[in-house]
Amino acid sequence: MSDLSITIIQTNLFWENKKANLEMLEEKIKNISIPTQIVVLPEMFSTGFSMNAPLLAEKMEGITIEWMKRISRENKIIIAGSIIIKEEDKYYNRLIWMMPNGQFGHYDKRHLFGLANETNIYTAGNKRLITSVNGWKINLQICYDLRFPVWSRQQSVIENNILTPEFDLMIYVANWPEKRNNAWETLLTARAIENQCYVIGVNRIGLDNDHNNHIGNSCVINPLGEVLYKKYNEEDIYTINLQKDKLLGIREAFPFLKDADLFNIQQDLI
């Protein structure tokens, strides 16, 4: 069975300062001492969670995408994290999944955070991105998506009495504030249990320009809801090796997914 090594970077961010953030993150990535396949960065890692999209947005050929291509290629890793993108006069909170060969996928945040005015600035996505690495299927999501279990739910298919789960791992990149920390950890755990998958949540630390404090609490949670890693209120770089045989063993011992309701998510919503 294939294992999967993933590195979480929990860090403070320089407010709306792309140059400083990219230089800081490049140094952290270079200092990863354990072999890894995927490096996960927080939501809006180059700017912080800013509504100043007209000033900060980039095209898909912009400096942050080019930085991701270079760092991915030089370090032979996949890099995942969201940035502000402008496309056809619309702004997106877009998660980029950058591979060392320069190819990439992207996911536009579906659930925009109205309390921070995100709904008035950005355009919601309408398609999920489930990618594959080393035989692992990975569902990529952003921050506020965590509160909406239907969007996150396995759409398992049963064929000839054989269950085929849609994904094995969920990754959430976030700028989730301290005052809602209990919801963060509770919902990450719920998503792992209900989907019988690993869940990784990567959050930032520190104050943003709106005086929201973030304590990180980045987590890795297994399909039983057991927390394998979490870190409060300090910068950290952590690499974990996930084992596919353990995941399959849990699903075999507790075949709950076969009893789940079958459904489809309409992914072309306006």
Residue of 102, 84, 101, 105 lying closest to 93 (CA atoms): 84
CA–CA dist 205, 213 (Å, integer):
7
Q: What is the largest CA-CA distance in the chain?
A: 55
Q: What string of pLDDT tens digits covers the 270 residues of the chain? A: 589 999 999 999 999 999 999 999 999 999 999 999 999 999 999 999 999 999 999 999 999 999 999 999 999 999 999 999 999 999 999 999 999 999 999 999 999 999 999 999 999 999 999 999 999 999 999 999 999 999 999 987 766 766 789 999 999 999 999 999 999 999 999 999 999 999 999 999 999 999 999 999 999 999 999 999 999 999 999 999 999 999 999 999 999 988 888 777 766 543
Active-site residue, from 58, 109, 118, 231: 109
pTM of the model: 0.96
| Domains detected in the chain | 3-259 (3.60.110.10)
Predicted pLDDT at 159: 64
Residue 270, pLDDT score? 37
Residues in the chain: 270
Nearest to 43 by CA among 113, 94, 90: 94
Q: What is the pLDDT of residue 47?
A: 98
210 token code pair:
């709106």
**Residue 16: exposed, middle, or buried by beta-carbon count in 10 A (0-12, 13-18, 19+)?**
middle
143 is catalytic: yes
| Interstrand relation of 129-133 and 162-164 (parallel, antiparallel or unpaired) | unpaired
Candidate list 58, 69, 118, 143, residue with the active-site label: 143
CB 154 within 8 A of CB 257: yes
